[in-house]
């Protein structure tokens, strides 16, 4: 069972106060920690577990700058066997279709049974790349996958729908699946673990080697003409409770008591 997993490095923004550059085109990333996209972490874990159960190898691929090597090393430490880095800053302003095109060129000659991506990336949240890849590769696919059971040449897949409901499907292999969070419990990667895989060679490529022209990637190849970022207005919505910590808690307690349901 050979599995290719697309991963991506994203800024960790959960606890961060974000700022936008003065052109309004990007957030300032200098002070943000970079990490593997949460969905991709589950996808790598799922691939490694399937490999452990059925044999074969796991290849991880990412598209970004040279710092993206970190996300490949993390994946290798989790148990992936090979890694490909599409080291190309020209994809900076690509839309999902442009990114998918780049990954497609890098993996189309690989022999694999399954291709995984995360459902979406935590930065742009397009939720598109995996499914565009399926179309480019001419493969069947399923998105929002929360369960995989492999049989001979086929598999039973569970997709997450709304309202505590799932959908059960049968899909032939090879296939493309986009992996939802919660499908497994990703293993913890230690610094020691990353040290151990530091000698594994990462295959590097770029748009020139992949035969992609400037017209096909970046802003020229994108369907988006421009993107203007802004911070959502604050002050709408909640009345923020003020005072000392004790005063705040007393106000909150009073609001709860006033509802008369205790």
Of the pair 124, 205, the CB lying nearest another protein is at 124
Burial of 59 (0-12, 13-18, 19+ CB in 10 A): buried
- Burial pattern 172-196, b for ≥16 Cβ within 10 A else e, equals ebbbbbbbbbebbebeebeeebeee
In the complex with another protein, which residue's Cβ is closer, 22 or 198? 22
When the beta carbons of 73 and 159 are compared against another protein, the nearer one is 159
Q: Which letter does DSSP use for residue 134 in this model? A: H
Q: What minimum distance in Å lies between the beta carbon of 202 and another protein?
A: 28
Q: How far lies 212's CA from each of 86, 105, 106, 136, in Å? A: 12, 9, 11, 15
CB of 129 to another protein, least distance (A): 8
The bridge status of strand 34-36 relative to strand 9-11 is antiparallel
* Between 1 and 173, CB nearer to another protein: 173
CB of 68 to another protein, least distance (A): 18
Cα distances (Å, whole numbers) of residue 183 to 81, 83, 85, 145, 146: 21, 23, 26, 8, 5
Q: How far is the CB of 82 from another protein (least distance, A)?
A: 26
Closer to another protein by CB, 110 or 229: give it: 229
Q: Rounded to the nearest whole angstrom, what is the least distance from the CB of residue 259 to another protein in the complex?
A: 5
Residue linked to tokens 């497994």: 184
């Amino acid at each position: 069972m050979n599995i290719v997993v697309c991963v991506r490095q994203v800024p960790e923004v959960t606890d961060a106060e974000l700022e936008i550059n003065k052109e309004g085109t990007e957030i300032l990333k200098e002070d943000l920690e970079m990490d593997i996209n949460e969905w991709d972490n589950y996808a790598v874990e799922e691939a490694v577990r399937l490999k452990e159960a059925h044999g074969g190898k796991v290849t991880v691929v990412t598209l970004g700058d040279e710092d993206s090597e970190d996300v490949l090393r993390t994946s290798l430490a989790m148990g992936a066997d090979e890694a490909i880095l599409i080291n190309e800053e020209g994809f900076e302003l690509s839309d999902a279709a442009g990114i998918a095109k780049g990954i497609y060129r890098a993996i189309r000659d690989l022999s694999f049974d399954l291709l995984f991506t995360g459902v979406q990336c935590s930065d742009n949240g397009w939720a598109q790349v995996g499914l565009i890849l399926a179309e480019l590769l001419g493969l069947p696919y399923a998105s929002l996958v929360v369960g995989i059971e492999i049989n001979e040449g086929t598999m039973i897949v569970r997709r997450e729908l709304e309202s505590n409901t799932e959908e059960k499907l049968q899909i032939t292999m090879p296939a493309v699946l986009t992996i939802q969070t919660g499908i497994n419990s990703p293993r913890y990667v230690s610094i020691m673990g990353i040290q151990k895989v530091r000698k594994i060679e990462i295959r590097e490529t770029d748009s020139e080697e992949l035969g992609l022209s400037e017209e096909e990637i970046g802003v020229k190849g994108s369907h988006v003409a421009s993107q203007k970022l802004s911070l959502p207005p604050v002050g709408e919505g909640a009345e923020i409770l003020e005072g000392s910590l004790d005063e705040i808690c007393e106000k909150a307690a009073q609001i709860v008591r006033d509802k008369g349901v205790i």
